[in-house]
A = this chain, B = another copy of it.
């Protein structure tokens, strides 16, 4: 089984990491569209165009299953990708909403994500389809803070305190009683400990990487022998492979040996 994982950058490596832990025998292709990142502030049309060309590339390289590890692309372009790719496609918005459905007893959930993901209201729609009410908040400073490496840092703690305080105030005003917080961006799992410290203990934090890996595992129909050898992983990026290797290792949690440069033109 060859699984293609796509993200605009290195954030999706948190999803790949969870997949490799969960389904070690699969072969993986990871594409980071780093020349055109971030998708978070771009329009639906532009994101769809970028995501479709990336998905087609992974299928051409042999991917039999696609994981869209980019929240923005999952939110804005999942239908376009499904139309263009002749293989099963799973996006992190639906896997996050699925996990929220299982987690929430009050049926009220909160979602933090990039501006474009929030503006698309993709999480609210996916939650509504599962009988949940969702309140969403854009947290545009969290990705740059993670990429600056300010994980355990007082500025990050203060930014989280402000963002999460505003979010819980919004929930209160809407007379909601949320018991679940979905991390709607693949960078956020790196802040999970800080986020859990900033919210009440009663709030369950769902990170897209772990829940996506679990759901891909369930979706793969073929029975797999437990004695199979570990699979391979290949990495592609549309911009500097040196930067991808350096920054990406932090997200993947292990060294990245080789990255191939891909040119989509433009």
Closest CB-CB distance, A157 to chain B, in whole Å?
Answer: 11
How would residues 31 to 51 of chain A score, 1 for a CB under 8 Å from any chain B CB and 0 otherwise? Answer: 000111110011100100000
Task: Say which one of A129-137, A138-146, A177-185, A223-231 lies at the interface with B.
Answer: A138-146
A220 within 8 Å of B (CB atoms):
no
Which residue of B is nearest A35, CB measured?
B46
Number of interface residues of A (CB under 8 A): 28
CB interface residues, A 143-175, toward B, < 8 Å: 143-145, 147-148, 150, 154-155, 158-159, 162
**Would you call A239 and B144 a contact (CB within 8 A)?**
no
Q: How far is the CB of A30 from chain B (nearest CB, A)?
A: 18
List 26 A–B pairs whose Cβ atoms lie within 8 Å, in order of A's numbering. A34-B42, A35-B36, A35-B42, A35-B46, A36-B266, A37-B41, A38-B38, A41-B239, A41-B243, A42-B239, A42-B240, A43-B239, A43-B240, A43-B243, A46-B239, A46-B240, A140-B144, A141-B141, A141-B144, A141-B148, A141-B150, A143-B144, A155-B158, A158-B158, A264-B266, A265-B266
Copies of this chain held together in the complex: 2
- A-B contact sample (14 more), CB < 8 A, given A35-B46, A38-B38: A34-B41, A36-B266, A41-B239, A43-B240, A43-B243, A46-B239, A141-B144, A141-B148, A141-B150, A155-B155, A155-B159, A158-B158, A265-B265, A265-B266
Q: Which residues of A contact B (CB under 8 A)?
A: 34-38, 41-43, 46, 140-141, 143-145, 147-148, 150, 154-155, 158-159, 162, 239-240, 243, 264-266
Complex CA–CA separation, A42 to B143 (angstroms) = 16
